[in-house]
Structure 1
Amino acid sequence: MKRRLAVVFAVLTFSSVSAQQQHAVIKLTAEKLHARVREWPYPANGVTVPTNAPALQWPASNGTTMVLPMESDSAVPEDPNIGNVRYQVVLASDKNFLKDVIKSGIQEWAVYPLHQALKPGKWYWKYAFALKGNKQWKWSEVYDFSVDARYASAKVSPPVAEVLKRNGGPHPRLWSMNRIEKEFYQKNLDNPEAKALVALARKLMKAPLPVEKPRRSLDTTGKTAVQKKIMMTRMYHGFGDQEGTPVRNLCIAYQLTKDKQFIEDAKRRAMILARMDPNGLATRDDFNGGAILEALAWFYDAGYDFLTEEERVLLRDVITVRAKRIYDHLPNRFEVHVSENHIWQITMRNLAIGTVAVMNEVPEAAKWLTYLYEVWSARFPVLGTTDGGWHEGTGYFKVNFRSIIYLSQLFGDFSGVDYFKLPWMQNLPYYLLYTHPPASASISTGDSWENMPDVTKSEAWFAEALALKVENPYLNWYVAQIKTRNPDFFKGTDDYLFFRLLNYNPGRKMLAASPKNLPATREFKDVGVVAMHENLSNAGNSLSSYLLSSPFGSSGHGHASQNAFTVNYKGKTIFGATGYYSNFSDKHNLLYYRASKAYCTILADSLNQKLGEEGYGWTARSINGNHIQYGLGDASNAYGEIKSEFWLNRFDQIKLKPAPVNGYGDAGVTLYRRHMLQLDGGYILLYDELEAKKPVKWTTLFHTPYYTIEAGATDNAKQQNFAVKTDLGTVNASVFAHAPLGMIVHNQFFEKPLNWNGITDETGNLAKFEDQWHAGITSQPAQKFRFLTIIQVKEGKAEVIKSTGETDGLLKLQVGNWNIQAQLDGNRPAAVQVNNAILKSVFNYGNLTVNFDGKTYKNEVRGSSMLLETKGSKLNRKEVVDELPGVAKYDFE
């Protein structure tokens, strides 16, 4: 198989005996860390895998070359041979494949999860592919990895044969109802929520029957062909859920009461849906078609005994048609994609429910279930790994909530595995707590983040559902806080009601613990977030800040926001992203909203970071202290020409060029490392190390999505000041450099947002795309450059920043009780030091002398970041060096 690129890591490692000769900095030269579709095998290169049963993965083939990205709404045509390839895999504990041999059957997809524990030690594997009907198999080279003995006793998911057997029982088999039906009925007899759903079902029986018509009307006059197509889809967006959800709820009401009138009304509605044209405007798109498939599956399974044989045949045929529309485009494509969003968000759930409903009655269903189980076993959680984070940010994380909850339940029913005990699931409560605390704003990144200025109903419901399965006292506190602040969120019914009914246990004690004793800083390295809090248990009345730098790049609904920062105060976003989500890739989206120009990061010659997985960053370090919080992000690989074929196609669709005039191109950036510190007393400090192949103008950006920026006066050309006018307190910023700076403050977008697609806010009202304020501070052309930024966020008056001298580029400042030194000459070694004698805290990066509490200290590792703090008579010393995210440790070529 021909590879399109090589991925190489140039890593400076700890290789010598002397600590002072060790290197703290890791430089990645890989073009990407996560490929849009898999381009190299895993596991390989002798890595020691963090499991005893890895999922073998490799690049998909069309029989000749590697399969290219093809996804929802893309104009890239599907590869005609994508469904004609077959694979097999062989694994052994010796390179000659004679010992402990494990061999797969012939399969259509490019993943092979091992459902058996491997003994510790070295393992070898290879895969082969051939076109359908061709017996000439082409074998890959041999790859090797090791299994650590510490994982020997870890539980392993069962093989597919056992999963198929578990789903071979009588109806109703969804949610194991044929085994738990009596228990489900009995335990919910006195459940108030069960009674609420039954009351809702009685109202549903009086509601109009399904009719194929748009849910909203939009004026397409004067719109382009692309816009008209998008608007037509939007007119019917949600139709499938609108008409399918009543069928599901009526089925649940029947299971709760055994009252036949509910299942009879579900049948009336389901038979109307079954006769809708799969190619009609109402149900042809993947979301609507999937929702109808799920509704029909619910009724077919729950109402099986109320159908004639002729009706069963009709429903089976319709379910098969709609299921095949999803499944036929999955094997050899979906499993190798970094995240085919629509499928992971919704249609995988629809297909899984549809498949279980017709198992043993539709011949293809066993293959569908096998594929779904194998992909789930190999890839979940697709946009995270173990740290609990989700790459795309708060706005589009919520679109995955239902599938995360219900598929974890459903695949648990399939396999007997408790997927809520996965490391990612166990860490997920901390991601929710740290990135979107109760009564506070979020990290503000990714599509639709602006629609979630506070914790929303969907987040609240998801957290409550998660708490039923994940035993975590901080999660219970999180849910309790939301319920106290937003009691209206929990009135009536919602999408997680059935999950709560399945897991109803009135005697369960939900023990809660305040996060006041949790670390103030937590890093989510796999998705690139460092979260720093002044008071995590009361974030709605204190200061929080975030450093963002994602190994996924700007994949999917993520944005080109590497080394961007967000500052929240008293529950509101002070500094953060700007712009509006009107469409996935219209002009405003491509030229501003998902571009670096919309974020508090840095431009080089006014050019953005590149869109796509190639424009990645990563968080290299973090420190949690008593009075100093710290994170370091590296966006050195984020800049350059856009290479992603997917995004180039999106520009082509609307006849745009990703050229310098539109903010894209290669300025030759070779280094961008941002140190971010949150200091007690309401201070944020940024120290930026910047280098390029040639002199460029560096612009550090600041955006206030809800407030106004006012430029401040300065008598020093190497310092620029501005203030943010808020109703929350005093916010101002000062930016320092070794050379003159210019500043522009304005309230205009690079590309104006237009709500041509009729986007509505959380309350259902037409969204208003209002002007927002921005400040850009730009250097003169320089090949190497440094910025030092001090932000003050205070209840009262801001402190005056006093200069105490500058020698050979080393600037010394005092603000409040903090003394700051920063080397701003880009031609000298980078260094920054922050010292507070009263709080007995000092942070040091670089080669500066550290005088602390009457003693002299130095970093043990050259280039490390060190924190010294004393509490009483005890010295707390923390020294950190770069640490790679998991993908760079385990999954590389």
Structure 2
Amino acid sequence: MIKKGIIIVSLLLLTLHTFGQQQPAIIKLNAEKLHSRVREWPYPVNGITVPTNAPALLWPATNGQTMVKPMESGSEVPEDPNIGKVRYKVMLASDKNFTKDLLTGSEQAWAVYPLHQSLKPGKWYWKYAYALKGSNQWTWSPVYDFVIDPKYANEKVSPPISVVLKRNQGAHPLLWDMNRIGADFYKNNLENPEAKKFIAFAEKLMLAPLPTEKPQRVIDTTGKNKLEKKIIVERMYHGFGDAVGTPVRNLCIAYQLTKDKRFILDAKRRALNIANMNPNGLATGDDFTSGAVLEALGWFYDAGYDFLNAQEKEIFKNIITIRAKRVYSHLPNRFELHVSDNHVWQITLRNLAIATVAVINDVPEAKEWLTYMYEVWSARFPVLGTTDGGWHEGNGYFRVNFKSIIYLSQMFGDFSGVDYFKLPWMENLPYYMLYTHPVDAASTATGDMWENIPYIVKGEAWFAEALTYKMDNPYLNWYVEQIKKEHPDYFKGSDDYLLFRLLNYKPNKTLAVSSPADLPKTRKFADIGVVAMHENLKDANKTLSSYLISSPFGSSGHGHASQNAFTINFKGKVIFGGTGYYSNFSDKHNLLDYRTSKAYNTVLADSLNQKIGEEGYGWIPRAISGKHIQYALGDASNAYGEIKSDFWLNRFKQINVVPNKTNGYGESGVTVYRRHMLQLEGGYIVLYDELEAKTPVKWTTQFQCPYYTIEAQNTENASEQNFIVNSDLGNVSAKVIASSPLKMQVHNKFFEPAVNWNKVTNDEGQIKDFKEQWHAGITSEAKQKFRFLTIIQIKDGKTEIIKRLNSNDGLAHFQVGNWEIQAQLDGDQASAFQVSNKTIQSLFSYGNVPINFEGKNYIPKIAGSSVLLEMDSKKWDITEAVDELPDVVKYDKKLD
């Protein structure tokens, strides 16, 4: 498996602020994007040392004339009709002339080539070629090179597809290796209490009537336009495929647990019923419903094969082939290139994989389908992360991927012998869950549908528990144990991960448990751009947590234009976070408010948002975890400007909206936006923003409260603005300070009204009430260079008066509680920011500010670094951080 690097750096400019020293402190990225919607450059290139001994070779696809452009399932952007007319092949060798250690790939229809063999250490060269179908005229790429590090020599490598196909030979049932483990599966679960409960559930399931093709819900379409009507009709049938398909799967599992023919015969009755449903009808015609039906048909065909006569086998093979081809025919030379074609990765890839294995030896095309899926899985998983365990789109939509992550990891592991639960990303996944959605507490409050998970919901709980069956992580075990204590009702009855638990059931297994109290308070997830800071990770539902968000993926997919946005949670609830509501992927409220920077605690320039699309990216250069001070630095310098993504421009066009300045989009000329964020012991958040543009702009720093009200407070200083948040959690106040006059606007209106025209429901199935929410914007005069200093207090008791102290060094100087804060607020001067507390002997410093603490001077090793000094057992604990690139920049660079 490769550690997936995903992108481009068209030009990487290292800005050296080190006064003659060799290591740079500040890195400036000038790439237009770090992740492209579809691959635009080859990987690996430029002699990069890859983090594996068997990388996947990736390259831009072609239709024979031009590069394949972005398109995806469910999009109105038409598919390129020529994407299926080309074939590729690759060559790899340890010399430029391709004579030594030569590896050649056979012709293939897709633009990825995972190496299923370990390469010897040293430099390797590769190239790819394409030709039109039926032609022997191959067009070759330039020669690219990369290096294999000896330290990866002993890594286990996934086997070639020939091994996978051979393992799938044999009699039914093939799914989940049942033709090999079926007897053990039966015996192992005879005394499993959960299996016994499930069998009792299946007994009742057989009494349910056969389903008919009708809507899951009825929604009035009166007065809606053509696009809205289409979306509403899809919404009415959403979930139909699962409703009719899940009982078939469950009855098949019950049969494998009991060998009781009643279960498989009832599964047959239901499977024949849905086999006769119209594959092009409203009920099972879209990708989600048809995919669920396809999976159910595959389940029964495999588990119930011996209960079918010849005619019935033909019925199932034909309908599986029809539905599978409809999915597969749109994948090669497109899907593997996409940053994340959500519907396929979330659901339909799993549906297709299960159905494919079921007919692998009976439908000739199925071997090609499985080959493609295995190769893409080997090359691209996990698509929205690399190694840090995070998921770019936020936790609201991460959960839609859970079933596929679990079951495809199990399935491809069965085939290949590779334990996909030991991938670096998988091993870090428990920490991502623990830090970004603590037990009985809110999440990061970003991305589509985050508002549906104010606390951990059932799907997250089940997923976390499922991971404990394959991972030996005591913090994960603690996390699940605590969820079970808080939500015992989540774990009653059947759920989607039952089969996984049955497959991996160990009667006498004991789980080691460790409290996260001994983990660092801060953790950086650089690949997806999140820093999580906690006062007490173990009791996040009672204490202060904060997050800084700045994603290398930009606002791709279900992600939002929220670069350098912060979220603050207290006692498990969101105080400051994203606002608005997910009613549809791209209606007016979504594209003009909910998805935009206007909905987040970040900065607008001349009231203009950050770009929607992969081009509007940010990243997290630094983070430090201390005892009393937590620190994060986000860089959103590349996030602003005109929208360039054809995909998103098409979405605006579909709803007849122009992304112009009137609607909050356009070129603002921002060149620098670096946000320093500190969480200080005692209930304080401090922000220091470095802002620059090509010409003077009005800078607006925003504060969004999705659940509470904001109330403006009087100020005697024109360069300061104050407000409070009225909540049931305690006292919350904020002061924003600059070097020139500021104006504040507090209101409870969305830029574009939120209307639940699509009758979107919450996790409990109740139609959501789109209530108004509160917003504050604090705006500067037009300045080319500007600084904001923000001090937020979150207290059980009263907040404290922030005192302005005298200063003769040109810095603004403040005291709040025992904390002293100094900041350079003049944008024409070099940035400087220092926070200290003599009582608890802690100091943070950034910029050219003398560090004198406890009577001692400290000179940073690298000028421009961020420095944290804290006393630990009568000894200074010193941490110095400079900018560190995310993996996508380290490993996946475009040729200049």
**TM-score normalised over the length of structure 1:** 0.99
Q: Which residue of 1 aligns with 2:329?
A: 328
Question: What's the CA shift string for 1:611-650, capped at 9, x where partnerless?
Answer: 0000000000000111000000000000000000000000
Q: Which residue of 2 aligns with 1:252?
A: 253
Alpha-carbon distance in 2 for matches of 1:331, 1:71: 12
Q: Is the 8 A contact 2:17 2:26 kept in 1?
A: no
Q: Which residue of 1 aligns with 2:29?
A: 28
Whichever residue aligns with residue 454 of structure 2, its letter is P
Alpha-carbon distance in 1 for matches of 2:333, 2:892: 20
Alpha-carbon distance in 1 for matches of 2:177, 2:15: 51
Whichever residue aligns with residue 10 of structure 1, its letter is L
Q: Quote how far apart the aligned CAs of 1:6 are.
A: 8.3
Whichever residue aligns with residue 464 of structure 2, its letter is A
Whichever residue aligns with residue 666 of structure 2, its letter is G
Q: Is the 8 A contact 1:21 1:862 kept in 2?
A: no
Q: Is the 8 A contact 1:13 1:22 kept in 2?
A: no
Q: Which residue of 1 aligns with 2:828?
A: 827
Q: Which residue of 1 aligns with 2:856?
A: 855
Q: Which residue of 2 aligns with 1:12?
A: 14
Question: What's the CA shift string for 1:657-708, capped at 9, x where partnerless?
Answer: 0000000001100000000000000000000000000000000000111101
Q: Quote how far apart the aligned CAs of 1:21 are.
A: 6.0
What SS does structure 1 have at the residue aligned with 2:12?
Answer: coil
Q: Quote how far apart the aligned CAs of 1:806 are.
A: 4.8
Alignment of 1:72-471 (within 5 A): 72-471=73-472
Q: Is the 8 A contact 2:578 2:601 kept in 1?
A: yes
Q: Quote how far apart the aligned CAs of 1:810 are.
A: 1.3
Question: What's the CA shift string for 1:175-207, capped at 9, x where partnerless?
Answer: 000111111111111111111211111111110
Alignment of 1:623-634 (within 5 A): 623-634=624-635
Q: Quote how far apart the aligned CAs of 1:14 are.
A: 7.4
What SS does structure 2 have at the residue aligned with 1:232?
Answer: helix
- List alignment gaps of at least 5 residues for structure 2: 1-6
Q: Quote how far apart the aligned CAs of 1:879 are.
A: 0.3
Alpha-carbon distance in 2 for matches of 1:492, 1:712: 52
Whichever residue aligns with residue 111 of structure 1, its letter is V
Q: Quote how far apart the aligned CAs of 1:78 are.
A: 1.0
Question: What's the CA shift string for 1:436-477, capped at 9, x where partnerless?
Answer: 000110001100000000011110000000111111000000
Q: Quote how far apart the aligned CAs of 1:805 are.
A: 2.5
Question: What's the CA shift string for 1:60-85, capped at 9, x where partnerless?
Answer: 10001100011122221111110011
Q: Is the 8 A contact 2:8 2:34 kept in 1?
A: no
Alpha-carbon distance in 2 for matches of 1:393, 1:110: 28
Q: Quote how far apart the aligned CAs of 1:809 are.
A: 4.7
What SS does structure 2 have at the residue aligned with 1:781?
Answer: strand
Q: Is the 8 A contact 1:808 1:825 kept in 2?
A: no
Alpha-carbon distance in 2 for matches of 1:683, 1:14: 32
Q: Quote how far apart the aligned CAs of 1:858 are.
A: 2.0
Q: Which residue of 2 aligns with 1:479?
A: 480
Whichever residue aligns with residue 506 of structure 1, its letter is P
What SS does structure 1 have at the residue aligned with 2:126?
Answer: strand
What SS does structure 2 have at the residue aligned with 1:27?
Answer: strand
Segment drifting more, 429-438 vs 182-191:
182-191
Alpha-carbon distance in 2 for matches of 1:6, 1:37: 12
Alpha-carbon distance in 1 for matches of 2:84, 2:275: 28
Alpha-carbon distance in 1 for matches of 2:20, 2:172: 66
Q: Is the 8 A contact 2:317 2:359 kept in 1?
A: yes
Alpha-carbon distance in 1 for matches of 2:253, 2:92: 45
Q: Is the 8 A contact 1:15 1:22 kept in 2?
A: no
Alpha-carbon distance in 1 for matches of 2:866, 2:812: 19
What SS does structure 1 have at the residue aligned with 2:53?
Answer: coil
- List alignment gaps of at least 5 residues for structure 1: none
Alpha-carbon distance in 2 for matches of 1:488, 1:68: 47
Whether 2:687 is the aligned partner of 1:698: answer no
Whichever residue aligns with residue 891 of structure 2, its letter is Y
Q: Quote how far apart the aligned CAs of 1:845 are.
A: 0.1
1:66–1:819 Cα change, 3 Å:
same
Alpha-carbon distance in 2 for matches of 1:262, 1:711: 65
Whether 2:845 is the aligned partner of 1:844: answer yes
Alpha-carbon distance in 1 for matches of 2:810, 2:601: 25
What SS does structure 2 have at the residue aligned with 1:26?
Answer: strand
Q: Which residue of 1 aligns with 2:716?
A: 715
What SS does structure 2 have at the residue aligned with 1:509?
Answer: coil
What SS does structure 1 have at the residue aligned with 2:554?
Answer: coil
Q: Which residue of 2 aligns with 1:779?
A: 780
Alignment of 1:633-782 (within 5 A): 633-782=634-783
The alignment of Structure 1 onto Structure 2 pairs a total of residues equal to 888
Alpha-carbon distance in 1 for matches of 2:810, 2:20: 28
Q: Is the 8 A contact 2:16 2:26 kept in 1?
A: no
What SS does structure 1 have at the residue aligned with 2:735?
Answer: strand
What SS does structure 1 have at the residue aligned with 2:250?
Answer: helix
What SS does structure 1 have at the residue aligned with 2:760?
Answer: coil
Whichever residue aligns with residue 502 of structure 1, its letter is L
Q: Is the 8 A contact 1:673 1:690 kept in 2?
A: yes
Give identity over the alignment, percent: 69
Alpha-carbon distance in 2 for matches of 1:484, 1:10: 49
What SS does structure 2 have at the residue aligned with 1:105?
Answer: coil
Whichever residue aligns with residue 32 of structure 1, its letter is K
1:146–1:222 Cα change, 3 Å:
same
Whichever residue aligns with residue 759 of structure 2, its letter is G
What SS does structure 1 have at the residue aligned with 2:733?
Answer: strand
Q: Quote how far apart the aligned CAs of 1:9 are.
A: 2.6
Q: Quote how far apart the aligned CAs of 1:170 are.
A: 0.8
What SS does structure 2 have at the residue aligned with 1:355?
Answer: helix
Alpha-carbon distance in 1 for matches of 2:809, 2:406: 58
- Moved >3 Å (runs of 4+): 13-16, 18-22, 806-809
Q: Which residue of 2 aligns with 1:489?
A: 490
Alpha-carbon distance in 1 for matches of 2:754, 2:670: 29
Alpha-carbon distance in 2 for matches of 1:115, 1:543: 47
Segment drifting more, 803-812 vs 341-350:
803-812
Alpha-carbon distance in 2 for matches of 1:808, 1:148: 50
